Structure 1
Amino acid sequence: MIEIDGRKGGGQMLRTALTLSAVTGENFELENIRGSRSNPGLKNQHLECVKTAGRLCDAKLEGDQKGSERIVFKPGNIRNESFTSNIGTAGSITLLFDTVLPVTTQFSDSFRFTAKGGTDVKWSPTFNYFKHVKLPLLRKHGLVADIELGETGYYPKGGGKAVLTTEEYSMSSPDLKERGELERFEIYSKASKDLESQGVAGRQADEAAKLLKNNHLSVPIDKNIVYEDAKSTGSSLLVKAVYENSVAGFDAVGEKGKRSEDVAREAVEEFKSFHETDAAVDLYMADQLMIFLALVGGKVSIPEVTEHVQTNLEVIRSFGFDLEIEKTGKKNVLKKV
């Protein structure tokens, strides 16, 4: 039984452990779940990750209740079964997809998974980040997957719906040490239809484009602006930076009292901080690629070694995968030994 102490981390430690347990067949016990958070224990979205991973490998579970700070997960055999998971709140659909996607490396047939909850909420990647940044980057290395939006879900009501589909695939080892030259930007701005009269999505996109141009970056900027039905008022913005060898994404979510221009400024500031580094992927992607490096090998340069990266590394190593961080000059390179 692998024993993991979650007191230093958050939900990422749980999601990584669930995925690797399903793939390897190793039992694990996780205590002090989300111990570094002010509200520790399993929330709806974390509990749904546990149940979904359990269903994908016919696992025996202990502690799978809301608020639980300890779970035991004993996986059985991986099974490819299409089904629907309902978080029941505005909990993040994309974080649920993050748990499921690496498991599909083990499937020898097509797979379909539907999730209901929040598509564009704080503390998690937006739907557009997952669709336009994460999946395209992984497709370059063999992944065959896509997601389709059924309905956008903002905080607090959620009510979003999205479908993840994969086909049989075999991934190659990513080699992402150099991102190459910046080639273009893609801006994806969206808002609920009740904000259309205020032009919220358009203002977010226009302000982001203006700020990028003010940084003397003479590359093309494409803008995609949409208004969609949603059960709660909300908006989101993604700035996607396309480089010669990689892509990076920087998103922000609107909320009551937050100006559209401030949403844009938040995303652009994140891009500027990233662009000043030599990294090939953004901070969020650094976390997400670690599990794929463990499974298929490879190397990737990341902006910095965050606490998220450190705690995720501890979980991955506990399952017997040897990842290391190599420091070369200003670069931090994650690689499988």
Structure 2
Amino acid sequence: MLQLDGRDGGGQLVRTALSLSAVTGQAICIENVRGGRPNPGLKPQHVAAIETVGRATEATVSGVERGSERFSFAPEGVRGGAFAVEVGTAGSVALVCDAVAPLAVALDRPLTVTLHGGTDVQWSPPVDYLREVKLPLLRAVGLDAELAVHQRGFYPVGGGSLTLTIRPSSLTALRLRRRGPVERLSVYALASDSLESASVAERLAETVRERIEDGSEGEMVTETTEIETTAEIETTATYAETDCPGAVVTLVADCGTSRAGFDALGRRGVPAEDVAEEVVDAFRAWRATGAPVDEHLGDQLLVWLALAGGEVRLPHSTAHVETNAELIRAFEYDLQVDDSEQGVVASAPSPEE
């Protein structure tokens, strides 16, 4: 059994360890789960991820409960099938999907998982990020996956649901060393129907579009970052019936061979225009790095690099990246993160090499 220390990692460490344990068949025991956090131990979405991957692998588990700082996980083998998991309250269903999707490389038949919980909650990628940024990029390298969103759910009540289906997949290497010009920008704004009278979704979407089109952030267009004013900007503003009020806006930058996403949640007392500006500011910061993917996607792609090989230029190195890379190497994957004048590049040999 592989002994792992979760003191320096967060939920990403738990999800990556689960995915690689399932794919490799290596049993794991994680101690000091989220030990460096103010509220250490497993949270509802971590428990749900362990349950979901556990059911998909007929794993033997122990110590899996909310607040637990130690658990073990011993998979039998990746199985297909269909089942549902309750994440609880507003635990992130998107983060559970992150743990499940890599199992596609070891499946022999489809796996369908329906998750109930929060689709758009703090400290987690909103479901539009998963649907419009991460999954399209992974499909381009061979992941066979479909996502159906049934209902949106905001913090603190949740009440959202989605279904993820993955099929046996053979991956090609990721080649994301350079970023091409932004070909299209898409803005997805969604708010609870109780906020429609205040036009919250429209205000979110239009503020993002206007900030980009009028160049009010200053250096929006430069030759070095290859952002063009002619990039098409599409906006979508919608409303949904939800169990509690909320709003979310996601900006997707399509660079042809790569994608990046930037998002923000509405908050009580904060004007929609201010929320939208947070998204554009994050887009501007990413643009200045020259990296083909955003910071969060770069971290999440490390496990896929281990499985498929290739190279990805990251916006910058972070503690998350270093901790995640060290964990992946514990499973004997040759993942390297190099910081040079050309930027931070994560790389791994493909399985055929």
The normalised TM-score by structure 1 is 0.98
Map of 1:83 onto structure 2: 83
Letter in 1 for 2:327: V
Question: After superposition, what is the alpha-carbon deviation per residue over 1:6-40, rounded to whole angstroms, capped at 9, x for unaligned?
Answer: 11111111111111111111111111101121100
Q: Is the 8 A contact 1:88 1:116 kept in 2?
A: yes
Match of 2:200 in 1: 200
- Equivalent residues in 2 for 1:62-77, closer than 5 Å: 62-77=62-77
Aligned to 1:220: 232
Q: Which residue of 1 aligns with 2:271?
A: 259
| Cα separation, 1, equivalents of 2:31 and 2:248 | 34
1:279-332 alpha-carbon deviations (Å, 9 max, x no partner): 111111111111111111111101011111111111111111110012341411
Separation of aligned partners in 1, 2:144 and 2:29: 32
**Any conservation in 1 of the 2:184–2:255 contact (CA below 8 Å)?**
yes
Give the length in aligned residue pairs. 337
Residue number in structure 2 paired with 1:141:
141
2:225 is aligned to none
Q: Write the distance in 2 (CA, Å) between the matches of 1:115 and 1:201.
A: 25
Q: For residues 33 and 78 of structure 2, what CA distance do their matches in structure 1 show?
A: 25
Helix, strand or coil at the partner of 2:96: helix
Alignment match, 1:47: 47
- Separation of aligned partners in 1, 2:319 and 2:131: 26
State whether structure 2 residue 141 is matched by structure 1 residue 108.
Answer: no
Task: For 1:292 and 1:72, locate their aligned partners in 2 and report how far apart those are by CA, in whole Å.
Answer: 23
The answer for the alignment partner of 1:268 in structure 2 is 280
Please tell me the residue identity of whatever aligns with 1:123. Answer: W
* Cα distance in 2, alignment partners of residues 111 and 51 from structure 1: 14
Partner of residue 187, structure 2: 187
Contact 1:32 1:70 in 2 (8 A): yes
Q: Give distance in 1, aligned partners of 2:288 and 2:23.
A: 37
Q: Distance in 1 between matches of 2:150 and 2:283?
A: 29
Work out whether residues 104 and 144 of structure 2, in 8 Å CA contact, stay in contact via their aligned partners in 1.
no
Contact 1:30 1:72 in 2 (8 A): yes
Deviation at 1:81, TM superposition (A): 2.0
1:292 match: 304
Aligned AA (1:23): V
Q: Give a deviation string over 1:261-282, Cα, whole Å, max 9, x none.
A: 1111111111100000121111
Q: CA deviation at 1:110?
A: 2.4
SS of equivalent residue, structure 2 residue 234: strand
Could you say what secondary structure the match of 1:185 adopts? Answer: strand
Query: Who is 1:31 aligned against?
Result: 31
Shift of 1:133: 0.4
Kindly report which structure 2 residues correspond to 1:165-176, keeping only aligned pairs within 5 A, or say none. 165-176=165-176
Query: Separation in 2 of the partners of 1:57 and 1:29?
Result: 16
> Does the alignment pair 1:280 with 2:300?
no
- Superposed displacement of residue 252, structure 1: 0.7
Shift of 1:44: 1.1
Deviation for aligned residue 1:166 = 2.4
Query: Which residue of the partner structure matches residue 16 of structure 2?
Result: 16
SS at match of 2:26: coil
How far apart in 1 are the matches of 2:283 and 2:125?
Answer: 15
What residue in structure 2 maps to residue 161 of structure 1?
A: 161
Would you identify which runs of 4 or more consecutive aligned residues in structure 1 move more than 3 Å?
Answer: none
For residues 88 and 319 of structure 1, the distance between their equivalents in structure 2, rounded to whole angstroms, comes to 31
Determine if contact 1:178/1:245 at 8 Å carries over to the other structure: no
Contact 1:278-1:330 at 8 Å conserved across structures: no
Taking structure 2 as the reference length, what is the TM-score of the superposition? 0.93
Question: Please, what is the CA RMSD of the aligned residues?
Answer: 1.1
Q: Is the 8 A contact 1:90 1:158 kept in 2?
A: yes
Residues 147, 163 of structure 1: 8 Å contact kept: yes
Q: Secondary structure at the match of 1:35?
A: coil
Matched letter for residue 117 of structure 2: G
Contact 1:133 1:248 in 2 (8 A): yes
Could you tell me which runs of 5 or more consecutive residues in structure 1 were left unpaired when the two chains were aligned.
none
- Amino acid of the residue matched to residue 30 of structure 1? I
Opposite residue 241 of structure 1, the aligned amino acid is A
Hey, what's the Cα distance between the residues in 2 that align with 1:328 and 1:111? 40
Structure 1 position 145, deviation (Å): 1.1
Structure 2: which 5+ residue stretches go unaligned? 222-227
Does the CA contact (< 8 Å) of 2:253 and 2:260 recur in 1?
Answer: yes
2:301 aligns to what SS in structure 1?
A: helix
